[in-house]
Amino acid sequence: MSFQTGLSGLNASSRSLDVIGHNIANANTVGMKSSRAEFGDLVASSLGVSGGSNQAGIGVGLAAIAQQFTQGNITTTGNSLDVSINGGGFFQLTQTDGSIAYTRDGQFKLDKDGYILTNSGANVMGYPTDQSGTATSVAVQKLQLPTSAPIPASATATITAEFNLDARAPVAASVIPPTPRTTYGTSLTVYDSQGAEVPVSLYFERVASTVADPAAVPPVSATDNWDVYDVATGGAPLFQMQFNANGKLTAPAVSPTLTIATPSTTTPDISAALDISKVTQFGSSFAVSNLTQDGYPPGELTGLSIGESGVITTRYSNGQTLSSGQISLADFRNIQGLQPLGGNSWAATFDSGLPVQGQPGVGKFGALRAGALEESNVDLTSELVNMMTAQRAYQANAQTIKTQDQIMSTLVNLR
């Protein structure tokens, strides 16, 4: 019997050394979670025997190899496609054979088609989003960035102008075009539907208008009016701006529409709303504080960034940024029940339960950190101490076999 007891101890110590060796070998593996061997004693039961005072055990057995899903240290790498999870959850993967796996290893890559992959070639899963980063579906899909073609141009639809007109300016002569000495102007570039640049120059003249409303509060003066001209078209003014005695714009009440001719005969003219709601007439020099438009030319992908919520933002050569998806996370009721697959990934099992999917930073899911990786949670010092302990246990069990052998030899040699 002692031979079997000692042999079970040798097997247990050997398995413990296997687990420790596996941990040590993966001390520098990104997303690695250490394991430990857990043992239970073996006891033979006899029919009709009650009480255990005279029962000896018959050795030890491996009860489980338990995974330790504690948080690993997060190390900055500077690579925009490196992603770590600070908290709970796993990245969801679709492997090359179509099966689903989960990982904490965020060393991602882009393939030639723009798909985000792991080192093993598995696709990283996530949610589709609109351009603002809001998820448009609760169903996860393979994340793909638009790397194969430039984003199309967008024609200018809105021009926003914020400036101050000098309330001390003289009234212009009643001629068209007005005299240059009283001209205030500004210019910007807009874009047609093909992304071609179209210059726009506007100038403003203070005029003595017949429009006046002394009953208004505050009253509207007949000289607090400015005509707006387009240099390209010339001729009559496009519209008139009217201000009250406090220098606030009173008309037009809605944004006027500018029709801008394009250089191409096949491209339709640009029709843009001109937002002048913040234009003022104060007793200070003419100054433009803001002049923007929302059109842009086509652009090539130049870079990307991943936020804490998992939203992937792509940057383009035309200065635009667009959201191109959101990395999703999954968690389990019993993460100890996950089955290791190798390659830093796990598979769901009956014991782990079904995955619960969600967005990073929401509920129990941890936030993401781009440009960083989660190190292995293996404590190398502890593993080396555990290895020495397992070695001593192996030696002690070998000694019980040796002692039993000597006893048996003495018994056989009795004369």
Give 210-248 pLDDT, tens digit per residue: 555 555 555 556 668 898 988 887 778 899 999 988 999
Report the sign of the C-alpha dihedral through residues 179, 180, 181, 187, in that order.
Answer: positive
Residue pair 212/218 in contact by the 8 Å Cβ criterion: no
Mean pLDDT of 24-39: 92
Q: Is the pLDDT of residue 57 over 80?
A: no
Mean pLDDT of 63-78: 92
The H-or-E segment that residue 2 falls in is helix 2-25
Output the pLDDT for position 181.
Answer: 44
SS3 for 11? helix
**Residue 153: burial class (beta carbons within 10 Å; 0-12, 13-18, 19+):** middle
Which position has the higher pLDDT, 212 or 366?
366
Q: What is the mean pLDDT of residues 318-344?
A: 92
- CA 156, chain centre distance (Å): 29
Mean pLDDT of 146-158: 87
Percent of the chain predicted with pLDDT > 90: 58
CATH of domain 158-293: 2.60.98.20
Residue with more model confidence, 222 or 376: 376
- Whether pLDDT at 415 is above 70: no
Using alpha carbons, select from 261, 284, 260, 281 the residue that is nearest to residue 272.
260
Q: Which of 119-128, 194-203, 208-217, 313-322 has the lowest mean pLDDT?
A: 208-217
Does residue 279 surpass a pLDDT of 80? yes
If one counts every other C-beta atom within 10 angstroms of the C-beta of residue 408, the result is 12
Tell me the three state secondary structure of residue 380.
helix
pLDDT at 404: 81
The band of 414, judged by pLDDT with boundaries at 50, 70 and 90, is confident
> pLDDT tier at 377 (50, 70, 90 boundaries)?
very high
Question: What SS3 class is residue 373?
Answer: strand
Q: Enumerate helices (H) and strands (E) in the chain, giving the number of each.
A: 2, 29
Provide the pLDDT for residue 51: 57
Per-residue burial over 90-110, b if 16 or more Cβ lie within 10 Å, else e, is bbbbbbeeeebbbbbbbbbeb
- The pLDDT tens digits for 200-216 are 999 998 887 655 555 55
Q: What local confidence, expressed as pLDDT, does residue 124 receive? A: 96
Confidence of residue 50 (pLDDT cuts 50, 70, 90): low
Confidence of residue 184 (pLDDT cuts 50, 70, 90): confident
325 C-beta neighbours (distance < 10 Å), count: 26
- Nearest Cα neighbor of 39 from 15, 21, 22, 20 is 15
Q: Which pTM value belongs to this model?
A: 0.76
| pLDDT tier at 173, thresholds 50, 70, 90 | low
| Average pLDDT taken over every residue of the chain | 87
pLDDT for the residue 281: 94
Domain ranges of the chain: 2-70+380-412, 74-151+301-374, 158-293
For the ranges 48-57, 244-253, 295-304, which has the lowest average pLDDT?
Answer: 48-57
